[in-house]
Structure 1
Amino acid sequence: MPAIVLREGQTVFDAEYAVQPRQPDEIPVRVITAGICETDLQLIRGYMGFQGVLGHEFVGIAEAGRYAGQRVVGEINCSCGECEACHGGRGNHCPHRTVLGILDHDGAFADVVYVPEGNLHPVPRQISDDAAVFVEPLAAAFQIPAQVDLSWLKRATVLGDGRLGNLCAQVLRLQGCDVEVIGKHVEKLALIDALGIRTRMLKDVTLAPTADLVVDCTGSESGLETAMKLIRPRGTIVLKTTTAAPDSPNLAPLVIDEVTLVGSRCGPFPAAIEALAAGQVRVTPLISGRFPLSEGVEALRQAIERPHLKVLLDVN
């Protein structure tokens, strides 16, 4: 079947790619629309050494199981269900897991993606296909309040004006934080301004330790270093950035200022779905390009080379 495949650092359109389920409980989901994520671009650069079908943000129609015939979205971590982590409710950190389109598991840039039934969530009628594609990254934004007590971290700075920075800013505002987004792109910051969230260009910011909470959504190896200059003593930095680059800053200031550093990844799908259904978060203004699956290689190239926010692939 048609798929966008990553092979040895090169993306290709394979019209006859053979996708097979990895486990007996996996459900075939016919993909309607999928979204290109910064992680996909990092995978192309060598992150995780992935080979196979890319894509982990999607909405589709379940073709079997309890949700057969319904629109669904899917959590990306496919855990074993048998180890200590899984029995302890930490399936996202199962040492035997595969990850859709990221680790040893073909993803959603294809006609069909196979997903464990327990990973699937039905999509309410009031959420459009385009909005449903954002459930996975929006859930990642909701992981911040799931991990961090925000009751005393009221002054929040989000670094990065891309799609994840935008979503994190909206979620933090829902939690009652006073949010500012710092970025490098006038047109992307304008979308955040339109939401009533304060923004500033990075070049205009004096890097001083005034924020209670800093969330790094830059997608850049320099993001943590900038965050360290903005966080006050005993504040909290949340890292959302993963890159293929190995360099890291001097971490001694984190020790000296007793800063809490939180790695933050996948999050709660029910919270994201509820927020979208209630209209509490705006996501469709982030869509800046769309292509048919057959032009997926070009879509990825444009996502890398042009200032896109969210590029969608229309599959079925």
Structure 2
Amino acid sequence: MLVVRNTADGIQVQDVVDPEGPGVRLDIASTGICGTDVAFVANGHQGFTYGHEFAGTVDGAAFVVEPSIYCGRCPECTAGHTQRCADPAHGTLGIFRDGGMAESVVVPEYTLLPLPAGLPVHDACLVEPAAVAWHGVRKSGLRPGERVVVVGGGSIALLAAAVARHLGFDVDLEARYEHQTSAAKRLGAGRPQGAYDVVIDAAGSSSGLARCAELAAAGARIIVLGVYNDTIGIPAAHSLIKELTYTNAMAYGRPGGVREFGQAADMLATRPEIAETVITHRFPLNAAAEAFRVARDRSAGAIKVVLEPPLCQRAP
């Protein structure tokens, strides 16, 4: 069985024994390359199969995998915050444990979500980042009449804009590259103008966070979706003078018993233009090294790059 792993020589496709153990065997149809995967390669993380954005089939039935591993019993889980599970075994498939950049993988049954009608399995790897975006927009507490802007042009940024539009809000987006701005326009987002009640940081950079504070109105809420490896420098002057509130948003959960992963899947099923816009490149699994190279170069037009095992590739 073919899998994608990082090595001392970079990303390689390796032939390993078929997966075993308790759980359900999923034949992979699509796996997205996340910015986290690209960063892990750059930082030299090895020893596991990459991929936490993936979907596939079990006996012909299509599923997407919610890759969060949680106990379901601790106070955080029972409150619906499964992403904050307190169990030592808590983690994410594809992050320091084997994930979905493979021909098949064994996953816990509770991670499987049947695909809603209208969402092709080859696009369903987008549910995971869409759920991250959904969680962030929900935590913003957007109210009717409020203005919202997204700072960033990657898949999370575009998906956050798509979520806001799906929920009935006008949204603007500021991105670095023209192809990202064009994608935002196709999803119904405008260009920033004026001040905003809610600003979503999906850039994950000090300059991006500074721009968030500049765009914020007095008393605004900034939702931090960007991933930072070091201490975040809060723009002090704007934050103090405007009395800004910063809220972190991580992954997704089940607030009020509602599975955010399922809400994101339903959105993608009803709005096929989202996947058509955000997924810009597809590669066979055995071209993983080239796929990672493309995903790494945002200036060349990539937004979401997807890997597909040879046996699961779609007909032209």
- Say yes or no: TM over 0.5: yes
Partner of 1:249: 233
Counterpart Cα distance in 1 of 2:8 and 2:144? 47
Segments of 4+ in structure 1 off by > 6 A?
Answer: none
Give runs of aligned pairs for residues 82-93 of structure 1, distance below 5 A: 82-93=73-84
Counterpart Cα distance in 2 of 1:199 and 1:9? 42
Partner SS, residue 312 of structure 1: strand
Change in 2 beyond 3 A, CA 1:27/1:252: same
Aligned counterpart for 1:30 among listed residues 16, 21, 27: 27
Matched, 1:156 2:148: yes
Does structure 1 conserve the Cα–Cα contact (< 8 Å) formed by 2:136 and 2:225?
Answer: no
Change in 2 beyond 3 A, CA 1:118/1:224: same
CA apart distance, 1:107: 0.9
| Cα deviations by residue, 1:91-122 (Å, 9 ceiling, x for unpaired) | 211132120112x3211101112222112100
Choose 166-175 or 2-11, whichever is displaced more: 2-11
Counterpart Cα distance in 2 of 1:227 and 1:290? 32
CA apart distance, 1:20: 4.5
Partner of 1:65: none
Letter paired with 2:6: L
Counterpart Cα distance in 2 of 1:164 and 1:271? 16
Choose 249-258 or 302-311, whichever is displaced more: 249-258
CA apart distance, 1:8: 5.8
Aligned counterpart for 1:99 among listed residues 92, 97, 103: 92
Letter paired with 2:55: V
Give runs of aligned pairs for residues 50-199 of structure 1, distance below 5 A: 51-62=47-58, 68-95=59-86, 96=88, 97-102=90-95, 104-151=96-143, 154-199=146-191
Choose 274-283 or 126-135, whichever is displaced more: 274-283
Segments of structure 1 that go 5 or more residues without pairing to the other structure are: 63-67
Counterpart Cα distance in 2 of 1:233 and 1:50? 45
Segments of structure 2 that go 5 or more residues without pairing to the other structure are: 253-259
Identity %: 28
Counterpart Cα distance in 2 of 1:53 and 1:105? 7
Does structure 2 conserve the Cα–Cα contact (< 8 Å) formed by 1:275 and 1:281?
Answer: no
Letter paired with 2:38: L
Counterpart Cα distance in 1 of 2:137 and 2:34? 22
Aligned counterpart for 1:44 among listed residues 26, 33, 41: 41
Counterpart Cα distance in 2 of 1:51 and 1:151? 45
Partner SS, residue 182 of structure 2: helix
Counterpart Cα distance in 2 of 1:195 and 1:83? 39
Partner of 1:260: 245
Does structure 1 conserve the Cα–Cα contact (< 8 Å) formed by 2:28 and 2:100?
Answer: yes
CA apart distance, 1:213: 0.8
| Cα deviations by residue, 1:219-246 (Å, 9 ceiling, x for unpaired) | 43432222122212211111111144x2
Counting matched residue pairs gives 298
Change in 2 beyond 3 A, CA 1:16/1:51: closer
Letter paired with 2:284: P
Counterpart Cα distance in 2 of 1:61 and 1:265? 27
Does structure 2 conserve the Cα–Cα contact (< 8 Å) formed by 1:215 and 1:227?
Answer: yes
Choose 164-173 or 248-257, whichever is displaced more: 248-257
TM-score (norm 2): 0.85
Counterpart Cα distance in 1 of 2:84 and 2:214? 30
CA apart distance, 1:256: 4.8
Partner SS, residue 168 of structure 2: coil
Counterpart Cα distance in 2 of 1:81 and 1:124? 24
Choose 254-263 or 53-62, whichever is displaced more: 254-263
Counterpart Cα distance in 2 of 1:45 and 1:153? 42
Letter paired with 2:75: E
Partner SS, residue 212 of structure 2: helix
| Cα deviations by residue, 1:184-239 (Å, 9 ceiling, x for unpaired) | 21122112223332126xxxx8xx7x211111112434322221222122111111
Specify which structure has the higher proportion of helix. 2
CA apart distance, 1:11: 2.0
Partner of 1:279: 271
Does structure 1 conserve the Cα–Cα contact (< 8 Å) formed by 2:285 and 2:308?
Answer: yes
| Cα deviations by residue, 1:124-146 (Å, 9 ceiling, x for unpaired) | 34211233121111111211343
Counterpart Cα distance in 1 of 2:285 and 2:233? 39
Choose 70-79 or 218-227, whichever is displaced more: 218-227
Aligned counterpart for 2:306 among listed residues 284, 289, 312: 312
Change in 2 beyond 3 A, CA 1:251/1:221: closer
